[in-house]
A and B are shown apart, each in its own frame.
Chain A
Amino acid sequence: MIVRVNVNGTWREADVWGGASLLFLLREHLSLPGSKNACEQGECGSCSVWLEGQLVCSCLVLAAQADGLAVRTVEDLSDPQGALHPVQQAFVDAGAVQCGFCTPGLIVAVTDLLERDPVPNEATIREALSGNLCRCTGYAKILDGVRLAAATQERSR
């Protein structure tokens, strides 16, 4: 079936199997592999994207459900020249990246959190990111990265 999705500001079309997820559409049909496939049942958050501005696990959304809707992915966050988004820069500076498989999903989730709550306290951060599994870092440097990103964005406000 043909689906038409606005991805990062551009309308894209693909012929997908009816059972294909939005994640599969992005990764395998639209050449956007930034969203990752770690659990494929909505437990790990590695595939986090925005669907009409809502944070979702793209593995739990059928490609067909996204037909006619706007999707924003991690690929949209850094500027076209490649400069990092403040959340991305904060993750690098804080040492919040190890293997990096969970990182794109976390970048999306943290960006979403800071848009809603620019200076979150620790309990809020932990609750907001409890749907993003990381197997490498033990999360300490991820917490540092969120605090650093919040401080950076607060300063530039």
Chain B
Amino acid sequence: MSTPPEVLELTRRGVGENTPRIDGGPKTQGRFAFGSDLWAEGMLWGHTLRSPHARARIRSIGIAEAVASPGVHAVLLADDVPGRRTYGLEFADQPVLAWDRVRYVGEPVAVVAAETPELARRAAARIEVDYEPLEAIVDMEAALATDTPRIHDHGNVLRHVRIIHGDPDAEAEIWVEGYWETGMQDQAPLGPEAGLAMPADDGGVDLYVSTQWLHVDRSQIALCLGLDDDRVRITLAGVGGAFGAREDVHMQIHACMLALHTGRPVKMSYGREESFLGHVHRHPARMWIRTGASYEGRLKVWRQRIVVDGGAYASSSSAVIGNASTFATGPYLVPNVLVEGTAVYTNNPPCGAMRGFGAVQACFAHEGQMDRLAAALQMDPVELRLRNVLELGDAMPTGQVLGGSAPTRRILERIAALPSIVEPATPPDPVLRPGGANNVTRGEGLRRGVGIAFGFKNIGFSEGFDDSSEARVRLELGPAGPVAEVHTAACEVGQGLNTIITQIARSELGIDDIVLHPVDTQVGSAGSTSASRQTYMTGGAVQMACRAAASRAFDRAAQRGVAIGDEPRLDDGWLVIDETPAVTLAELLDRPIEETAVFHHRPTTALDEHGHGEPHMQFAFGAERAVVEVDAELGLARVVHVDAVQDVGRALNPRSIEGQVEGGTAQGLGLALMEEIQVVDGSIRNASFTDYLIPTILDVPSVTSELIEEPDPESPYGVKGVGELPTLVSTPAIVAALRNATGHELNRAPVRPDDLVGLNGPVLGNPPPPAPDVPGPRAVPHYVAGEGAPS
């Protein structure tokens, strides 16, 4: 046996440390291969022809000229789809390629493969589609009217959620009304949708693609290709940001069809304009709220109507409206609640997952409403929130009792106690004035405002879904000592999951050398990289698999006569018993150890007909305080600083969490001040980074993050997901600060310059539409049309 070192060093770069990203070097060098960087010998380029109409009947499609175009190898239509002709995350209602009718501007109608992207584009332009345009339904409230034409055979209601808690007709001493709107936001990941499909000798296909969930992609792709799952093998290509935009299939099925048809590798890579057309967006929402409270500021009654625009196809709308409805009343204790939430179909671009997933819209509304109530009561906004804050053991409107950990009171107290910003109101550098160099004043009209917001959101999939994650760990002796290879199907999309996985493996196995197997479908599903869930779920799976492998090492030591004791562990290459190194791990690895583990979170339940159940797995809380400066004459605003207090359970990599807080805050700033897809008659008018503005380094302020560590007793290491929460609270905190600075109501996000100078009053809205007459809390396509639309 080797001689134990006198002092055991803690294994470095394990959990809890600011371990640098493992992919940082290649990414700074331009050597990291994103989906759009892929290349194969003899590869063709795919191009998609999309509908110019929001609603139309297709009379005929002529492809003869396109087929005869130079360099063209294939022109495929709906009839060429080998298997099921529709796909979808929750309901297969979306055509791979349109036949008979189109339902939104940008809907794919044909795909072309050619020698170069330019030849493919020119050939697609020669496809002759004869459309009969129909009147498009582009308003979400109009879609609900009984005399409006049906966009799908099963109607225009995608899902209606009704939650009743206590007595919604109860009395209160003071009432406030509110109408709130949020616009259609784009995820705008910098990396475009891209991938490479390679036909395989066995008649199957190998696909390399930027995505968020390999296995749900595969099940949709395989059905549409008419292949068994094992003939569709997917490997994750580098992902240039996701934020929900890559949950739905984009170019995957098209590229596979073209590759199988031509027998050649086919690459597809969207440009920015096509990216806006080719992925789903954040749902625009309209929310009507009536809140009753006592004079002491205790919430008594909360009645809310929500309508969100799901666009032409279902995507994940049914889960989004589930979230918007279950989080409608915010992190507050309300005894009497009625929430009626509806997701509708329209002929607008499809909406689906985006960071925050329904809870963003809810948070904008409940925080505005709470501020309005505080003003009516002449009470400090933080004090009002403290009087109603949800705490462990409290029941939410669904009846679910808040468990896990919930440092809610502490978060509110910290956000109120943070030192105020003392930076002078007129910064000397004109670049840092509202509007930057565009500001033509000398700062005479500047007004400061401060606002806070508080919110919470679910981590992981909800309403009875078992989104388990699998990890495989292989521990063996390499030339330089023990090495562990970790294999999962969990998608690193930029958030830093791969680094967290290596930190967990290092800590659990007590070795430094961790290798990550390429992320592919040769291992079981890891679930989606969404809902802030991967550190919890795949982190949990990696922890389990590592512990199983360690346990095998302990067994081997015991077989060799080592007295294992109660709490053996692996540390710094040693098996340590009672704080004494007993045997090196290397000595136990005469043959490799391989373990696979599947991690499940505790079960959740569907909502019943009253909207009751235990829908959510874990909750994360957070608050932000924003300081803004508004040039009240020009309508220009600058966010000066944001303070964030975030519930993280336990920080596995604090710097990486700060990055999530800062980045999430910036996206919330975008929704507060500039980001909205402009849809006119169903058509996106600003599908570019020239016209759809995302925050630049001149727009985003310094952010101070305070991480609250109260471990969740139910989660691995006590972690909580952190990816989404900052995006929830940033928008309402900034808009509250803008209200504070200007005195205007500002009930719609994003806030526009006209709103800031007071040219526009508040958005008035119609009376809330009646709840639709549909049964139960399940999504409508399930009980009307079944799993799939007609094919």
Contacts and interface: CB of A to CB of B under 8 A. Distances in A.
A130 B702 CA distance: 15
A84 B689 contact: no
Interface string A88-117: 110111010111111110010000000000
B441 interface: no
Interface of A: 17, 19-20, 27-28, 31-41, 43-44, 46, 73-75, 77-78, 82, 84-85, 87-89, 91-93, 95, 97-104, 107, 123, 125-127, 129-143
Contact of B272 (A41, A78, A98, A130): A41
A137 B512 CA distance: 28
A73 B431 contact: no
A144 B424 CA distance: 23
A117 B667 CA distance: 30
Contacts of A35: 30
Contact of B118 (A19, A92, A138): A19
Report whether over half of chain A's contact residues are helix, strand or loop; otherwise say mixed: loop
A27 B37 contact: yes
A157 B428 CA distance: 31
Contacts of B37: 27, 33
A75 B28 CA distance: 9
A21 B192 CA distance: 18
Given A37-B36, A40-B271, A98 B494 contact: yes
A95 B30 contact: no
B238 interface: yes
Contacts of A142: 697
Contacts of A135: 187-190, 241, 243, 663, 667, 694
B30 A33 contact: yes
Contacts of A44: 190, 689
B34 A140 contact: no
A129 B192 CA distance: 21
Report whether over half of chain B's contact residues are helix, strand or loop; otherwise say mixed: loop
B40 to A, nearest CB: 12
Nearest to B430: A123
B18 A41 contact: no
Contacts, number: 194
A92 B24 contact: yes
Most B C-beta atoms less than 10 A away, residue of A35, A75, A97, A123: A97
5 contacts: A28-B39, A99-B494, A130-B697, A135-B694, A141-B658
A136 B432 CA distance: 22
A123 B189 contact: no
Contacts of B190: 36, 38, 44, 46, 99, 101-102, 133-135
Interface residues of B, number: 63
Contact of A99 (B191, B271, B695): B191
B580 interface: no
Given A95-B20, A123-B429, A138-B665, A38 B659 contact: no
A93 B702 CA distance: 19
B465 interface: no
A28 B271 CA distance: 15
B664 interface: yes
Given A19-B118, A33-B34, A135-B189, 20 more contacts: A36-B30, A38-B192, A41-B272, A41-B689, A44-B190, A75-B31, A82-B29, A92-B20, A92-B24, A95-B18, A100-B23, A101-B189, A123-B432, A129-B697, A130-B698, A134-B190, A137-B659, A137-B662, A138-B665, A140-B662
Contacts of B667: 135
B28 A84 contact: yes
Given A88-B29, A99-B189, A141 B429 contact: no
A82 B36 CA distance: 23
